[in-house]
């Protein structure tokens, strides 16, 4: 069976020691460079004003662990939260959405979609045709989508996510990811208008996903712009031999379709350059796949994608190089569930007080509050400033407290 395309499930990283989730659904790849064309009109699109130009549609969003979620509907039903994922060539919807499509039958009708994780494991997802997806005043008709169970991902973020909008959905509009204002702006392609910022041409891998040239020190290579990954930067170091300011070292678990596995992480000594913007000494996760620029870096920009001209225009939030903060942890990896966080891993260099903690232990409270009050955003913000965190554990019906020091996993 010929595969249908690429899809990406968001990378869920372990800033707090939770699992990373760069779940890459990969198919056969090709490369096609779109020709560049000058704008046909001197009219300029602006995104820094209170009111947008006629025809533009601003869709309010929500940033959760760097990922940009927007509210939309399917065939007028909803609301549902969608992740806008430039790293995916396939749109995915939840069982909850699929059940609203008349005549839906799993794996019946359209061919199932074969997906392959970053670790090489494969599975099949049923596929359907969604009559329409609406984002604000903009509708996308007859969208083919794979059906995926978003329960684990929703539990991790603490937000019910019902779908991933792949990059091809936006082929006939200008897609703007306005991270500083936590919104998506959709603009008509015609009449063509200039877009202020740093214009960077992109290629399309397999005709679907945006890949740009980036510089790292003296090396130039291609990287995927992946808004569906909340990691900063992944790098295939084959042939590059990059210098590290810190590391590489073993990081938290990475969850893929093939299971959980640790990955090497660190901070590079060189500067990463996107267009003309510098990301000084970026944190990185090593991979054997295509390098990616993830949302922890992208959130410092407003990005507008013009698929027909093969351009992405970057507008930095600040006129200064980007410097990513330290990655902090208590040395534990978790699976987040609604009523508890389940310990998956105790890292080798975790503080000594973690020696009594075992994989499988349930965390039911943090710093004197029940776990249900600790969503992902609140916990990640707490990690940035806290010196210690007190966990309330439950094992075999017994509860016990452990106070653990917070330390820099990657300074």
Q: How do beta strands 322-323 and 277-280 pair? A: parallel
Q: What is the pLDDT of residue 255?
A: 59
Q: Average pLDDT for residues 127-138, to the nearest whole number?
A: 91
CB within 8 Å of 99: residues ≥ 6 apart? none
Q: What is the pLDDT of residue 342?
A: 93
Instruction: Indicate whether 368 pLDDT > 80.
Output: yes
Tokens of 29: 């790849």
Instruction: Indicate whether 29 pLDDT > 70.
Output: no
Q: Is 342 exposed, middle or buried (0-12, 13-18, 19+ CB in 10 A)?
A: middle
Spatial distance between the Cα atoms of 289 and 119, rounded to a whole number of angstroms: 9
Q: Average pLDDT for residues 382-404, to the nearest whole number?
A: 94
CATH of domain 198-323: 2.40.70.10
CB within 8 Å of 302: residues ≥ 6 apart? 47, 176, 177, 178, 179, 180, 181, 197, 314, 315, 317
Q: pTM of the full predicted structure?
A: 0.86
Q: How far from the centroid of its chain's Cα atoms is residue 16's Cα?
A: 16
Instruction: Indicate whether 17 pLDDT > 50.
Output: no
In this structure, of 17-26, 238-247, 327-336, the range with the lowest mean pLDDT score is 17-26
Q: Where are the domains of the chain?
A: 7-32+58-188, 198-323, 327-410
Q: Is 104 helix (H, G, I), strand (E, B) or coil?
A: coil
CA nearest 291: which of 326, 247, 240, 351?
240
pLDDT in tens, 75-107: 888 899 999 999 998 899 999 999 888 765 554
Handedness of CA 93, 95, 99, 103 (dihedral sign): positive
Q: What is the pLDDT of residue 176?
A: 97
Q: What is the pLDDT of residue 348?
A: 86
CATH superfamily of 327-410: PDZ domain (2.30.42.10)
pLDDT in tens, 67-81: 999 999 998 888 999
Strand ranges (E), 231-293: 233-235, 244-256, 259-268, 271-274, 277-280, 283-286, 292-293
Q: What is the pLDDT of residue 401?
A: 95
Question: Dihedrals φ, ψ of 297, to 5°?
Answer: -90, -45
pLDDT in tens, 250-282: 988 765 544 566 789 999 999 999 999 999 999
Q: State what percent of residues in the chain have pLDDT above 90.
A: 59
Q: What is the pLDDT of residue 31?
A: 28
CB within 8 Å of 399: residues ≥ 6 apart? 364, 392, 393
CATH superfamily of 7-32+58-188: Acid Proteases (2.40.70.10)
Spatial distance between the Cα atoms of 13 and 65, rounded to a whole number of angstroms: 9
Q: State what percent of residues in the chain have pLDDT above 70.
A: 82
Q: Is 384 helix (H, G, I), strand (E, B) or coil?
A: helix
Q: What is the pLDDT of residue 111?
A: 58
Q: What is the pLDDT of residue 35?
A: 27
**How many other C-beta atoms are found inside a 10 Å radius of the C-beta of residue 220?**
10
Q: What is the pLDDT of residue 128?
A: 87
Instruction: Indicate whether 13 pLDDT > 50.
Output: no
Q: What is the pLDDT of residue 190?
A: 82
Looking up tokens 């670790």 gives 119
User: Hey, do 7-32+58-188 and 198-323 end up sharing a CATH topology, with the first three levels equal?
Assistant: yes
Q: Within 13 Å and on the Cβ side, how many CA atoms surround 174?
A: 27
Q: What is the pLDDT of residue 44?
A: 81
Q: What is the pLDDT of residue 51?
A: 72
Q: Is 19 helix (H, G, I), strand (E, B) or coil?
A: coil
Q: What is the mean pLDDT of the chain?
A: 84
Are 249 and 408 spatial neighbours (Cβ–Cβ below 8 Å)? no
Instruction: Indicate whether 39 pLDDT > 80.
Output: no
Instruction: Indicate whether 6 pLDDT > 70.
Output: no
Torsion of CA 202, 208, 209, 215, to 10 degrees: -30
Q: Dmax over Cα atoms in the chain, in whole Å?
A: 70
Instruction: Indicate whether 126 pLDDT > 90.
Output: no
């Amino acid at each position: 069976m010929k595969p249908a395309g690429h899809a990406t499930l968001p990378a869920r990283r372990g800033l707090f020691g939770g699992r990373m989730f760069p779940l890459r659904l990969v198919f056969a790849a090709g490369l096609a460079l779109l020709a560049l064309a000058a704008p046909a009109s001197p009219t300029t699109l602006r995104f820094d004003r209170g009111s947008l130009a006629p025809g533009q549609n601003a869709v309010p969003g929500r940033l959760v662990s760097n990922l940009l979620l927007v509210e939309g509907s399917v065939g007028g039903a909803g609301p549902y939260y969608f992740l806008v994922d430039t790293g995916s060539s396939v749109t995915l919807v939840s069982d909850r959405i699929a059940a609203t499509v008349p005549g839906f039958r799993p794996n019946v009708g359209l061919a199932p979609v074969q997906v392959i994780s970053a670790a090489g494991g494969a599975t099949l997802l049923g596929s359907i045709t969604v009559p329409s997806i609406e984002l604000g005043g903009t509708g996308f008709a007859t969208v083919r989508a794979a059906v995926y169970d978003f329960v684990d991902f929703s539990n991790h973020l603490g937000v019910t996510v019902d779908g991933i909008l792949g990059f091809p959905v936006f082929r006939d509009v200008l897609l703007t990811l306005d991270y500083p204002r936590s919104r998506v702006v959709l603009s008509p392609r015609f009449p063509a208008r200039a877009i202020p910022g740093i214009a960077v041409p992109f290629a399309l891998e397999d005709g679907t996903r945006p890949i740009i040239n980036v510089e790292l020190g003296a090396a130039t290579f291609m990287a995927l712009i992946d808004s569906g990954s909340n990691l900063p930067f992944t790098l295939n170091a084959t042939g590059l031999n990059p210098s590290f300011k810190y590391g590489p070292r073993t990081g938290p678990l990475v969850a893929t379709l093939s299971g959980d596995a640790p990955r090497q992480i660190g901070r590079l000594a060189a500067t990463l350059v996107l267009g003309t913007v510098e990301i000084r000494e970026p944190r990185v996760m090593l991979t054997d796949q295509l390098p990616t620029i993830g949302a922890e870096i992208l959130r410092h920009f407003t990005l507008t994608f013009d698929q027909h001209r093969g351009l992405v225009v970057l507008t930095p939030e600040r006129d200064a190089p980007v410097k990513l903060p330290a990655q902090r942890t208590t040395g534990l990896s978790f699976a987040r569930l609604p009523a508890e966080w389940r310990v998956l891993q105790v890292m080798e260099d975790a503080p000594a007080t973690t020696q009594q903690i075992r994989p499988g232990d349930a965390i039911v409270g943090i710093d004197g509050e029940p776990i249900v009050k600790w969503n992902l955003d609140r916990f990640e913000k707490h990690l940035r400033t806290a010196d210690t965190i007190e966990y309330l554990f439950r094992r075999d019906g017994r509860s016990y407290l452990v106070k653990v020091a917070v330390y820099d996993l990657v300074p």
